[in-house]
Amino acid sequence: MAEEGILSIVRRGGTYQMRYASDNPHEQDRQPYTCPTEAHLVTWLHHNELEPWAIQRAFADLRRGGVTVLRLLCSARDVARLFPFP
- Per-residue pLDDT, 63: 92
List, for residues 5-59, the tens digit of each pLDDT value. Answer: 999 999 999 999 999 999 999 999 999 999 999 999 999 999 989 999 999 999 9
Neighbours of 40 (CB within 10 A): 12
Find residue 67's DSSP bridge partners: 10
Across 52-67, average pLDDT:
94
Phi, psi angles (nearest 5°) of residue 31: -75, 150
What radius of gyration, in Å, describes the C-alpha atoms of the chain? Answer: 12
- Per-residue pLDDT, 58: 95
